[in-house]
Amino acid sequence: MSMSLPMLWLILGCAIVTVIPRIVPFIFVRSVQLPEVVLKWLSYIPICILTALVAENMLIETENAVELDWTVLLAMLPTLLTALWTKSLSATVIIGVISMAFIRLFL
C-alpha cells in the first residue's frame, strides 16, 4: 500500500485533533490552583469510568433480556482482590489479563 500526500495530511490532522483535547487541559490545570472540592470530585472519575467499562462488558444483550457474562465476572474477582490488596494498577491489569486468558482458554 502506498502513502499519498493527502492521506499523510489526513493522518497528521487526525493526530493533531486527537492530541489537542488531551494536552491542553493538562497545560491549563498545571497553572491553576484548583479548590479541594474539585480535586476530590476529580479523584472519583477514574473509578467511575472503570466501573462503566466493566459493567458494560459484564452484560450481554440478547433478544429478550440482558444476561450476565459469567466469564467476565470470574475474571473480575481475582482482579478486584488484587486491586484491593496491592493498590497497584500494573499488578491489577496483569492479573486481569491473565485471569481472562485462562478463563477463555479453559472454559
pLDDT score of 81: 94
In this prediction, residue 99 carries a pLDDT of 96
C-alpha cell at 2: 502506498
User: How far is 12 from 63, CA to CA, in rounded Å?
Assistant: 42
69: left (phi over 0), alpha (psi -120 to 50) or beta: beta
Is residue 51 domain-shared with residue 27, that is, in the same domain?
Answer: no
Q: What is the pLDDT of residue 17?
A: 94
Regions in the chain scoring below 70 on pLDDT:
1
Residues 27 and 47 in one domain: no
Whether residue 22 is found in the same domain as residue 9: yes
Same domain, 59 and 98: yes
Residue 1's pLDDT is 63
**64 and 28 share one domain:** no
Q: How far apart are CA 59 and CA 104, in angstroms?
A: 17
Domain count, the chain: 2
User: Which domain does 90 fall in, by range?
Assistant: 33-106
